[in-house]
Amino acid sequence: MSGAPEKGVAALQRRVLGLVELRAGFSVARAELDDADRGAQDLDLGELDQAAQRIARAENGAVFNGWKAAGSTG
């Protein structure tokens, strides 16, 4: 950007894009959380894993293919 308000000062103007927050619902039994607190290694977090995978696929799709509704061109 030309015409900075002070000599010897560089000015840049950034284009700010809206942030999109993705969420995927999942359930974890309270007993599993209690087991985790006690240090159990064999937790059943299958629904959490599936939710994380759905979000990752959605993010990858938006990054590589764009997401018009969110203003992303990919």
Q: Which domain, by its residues, includes 38?
A: 30-68
Q: How many domains does the chain have?
A: 1
pLDDT, residue 60, reads 95
Chain-centroid distance, C-alpha 25: 14
Quick one: three-class SS letters along 3-65?
CCCCCCCCCCCCCCCCCCCCCCCCCCCHHHHHHHHCCCCCCCCHHHHHHHHHHHHHHHHHHHH
pLDDT, residue 15, reads 86
The percentage of the chain sitting over the pLDDT mark of 70, rounded to a whole number, equals: 97
Q: Whole-prediction pTM value? A: 0.70
Does residue 19 fall inside a structural domain?
no
Does residue 59 fall inside a structural domain?
yes
pLDDT, residue 71, reads 84
CA distance 20 to 18: 7
31-58 confidence digits (pLDDT tens): 999 999 999 999 999 999 999 999 999 9
Does residue 64 fall inside a structural domain?
yes
